[in-house]
Amino acid sequence: MSAPKSASQSHSADVRMELRINDQVLQVDQLGPDSIILEKTADCPPSEAEMTLTFDGHERRWRVWLTDGISAERRRTRITRCATRSRAAG
């Protein structure tokens, strides 16, 4: 039987999130199932972008659609996950 972890053994995860649109990288403060909250705003029309989540050094990337684009007037932006494209075996 193992002893429960004490407060001194707790782990604080290193989490980083960013949104890539063409050559621009925007830092993401919060990620939800259908929206993100950006650290700083910008202007961008509805388009496809890449979301990157790094959790304790493990990186995961996926494509998202910026439903309403990004507006400098608001930090919250609606997103939907893009359909996975299959690659032809060659």
One-letter amino acid at 80 equals T
Place of tokens 């949104």: 19
Name the DSSP letter for residue 84: P
Can you give the pTM of this predicted structure?
Answer: 0.76
Beta bridge partners of 14: none
Domain spans of the chain, in order of start: 14-81
Q: What is the pLDDT of residue 90?
A: 40
Residues 20-70 have pLDDT tens digits of 998 899 999 999 999 999 999 899 999 999 999 999 999 999 999 999 999
